Amino acid sequence: MTCIPTHPYVIVCASKSEPALTKVASSLKLKNIRFKEFREPDIGNQLTAIATEPVYGEQREFFKKYQLWRGK
């Protein structure tokens, strides 16, 4: 039996372009990590952000290749 922590991790990632963000979304699908796309109707319904479900344990491995946000 796998023990799932009670507190999920929040991961914030940035992408340099819409095609790059679309590629991330495709990769999330392959890893079976659910996510929600956010699109902006004022700019041609472009994909501007995605948010994933809470991630635990091994699911976090997917995000290791992304730089952490460091704030100001």
Query: In this model, does residue 4 exceed pLDDT 60?
Result: no
Between CA 3 and CA 69 the distance in angstroms is 28
Higher pLDDT, 8 or 35: 35
pLDDT digits (tens, 9 = 90+) for 24-62: 999 999 999 999 998 999 999 999 888 888 888 888 888
Q: pTM of the predicted model, to two decimals? A: 0.73
Between CA 50 and CA 52 the distance in angstroms is 7
Average pLDDT over residues 2-14: 61
pLDDT of residue 56: 82
Residue extents of the structural domains in the chain: 18-65
